[in-house]
Amino acid sequence: MGIVDSPNGRRSNKKGRKHSKRIGFHLDMTPMVDVAFLLLTFFMLTTTFSKANTMEINIPPDKAEVKVVESNVMTLRIADNVMAYCSLGDEAPRRIPLYDPLDTHQLALSGELRQLLRQQTAANTKLVIVVKISEKAKYKHLVDIIDELNLMKIDRFSLDDYTEQDAVEIQRAI
């Protein structure tokens, strides 16, 4: 606790009046520091630490080349922040809204895109989905698509570069 010094001595000034001596004190900070460190260690030990949200993606070796029949390849192109273009094999891509128009916060992919992915993977068990995203689109769209594929338990998908040929293909969209 704090120690208070209070001497009883009095002093006098030149005119003969007596003044009481100023009381000095010393405040001991040790208990406050002890409580601060106790609280600090308590909160550090009882706080739950959140794990980083990571997604595991297996990348094949550089020289690995897998041949797939073109009719078993579904290409999903994201050119901008509004539409997705989906094509099966060498057919013309279909325009599908990436998010529902009523979903202003873009929290989930559109029901039409989900339904298409479910139908195509149910119809063809050997289907491989190739996702291509342009530089104009947001990274969030790629993460949302991969999350949706993981939720649907679709594990046969690949990421590829968006090229000029993809921009030409989008021009053929229905």
pLDDT digits 0-9 by tens, 146-173:
888 988 998 888 888 999 999 888 888 8
In whole numbers, what is the pLDDT of the chain averaged over residues? 82
CATH number belonging to domain 70-171: 3.30.420.270
User: What pLDDT was estimated at residue 171?
Assistant: 87
Q: Which long-range contacts (CB under 8 A, 24 or more apart) does 91-94 make?
A: 92/169, 92/172, 92/173, 92/174, 93/169, 93/170, 93/172, 93/173, 93/174, 94/173, 94/174
Domain residue ranges of the chain, discontinuous segments joined by +: 70-171
**Residue 15's pLDDT band (boundaries 50, 70, 90)?**
low
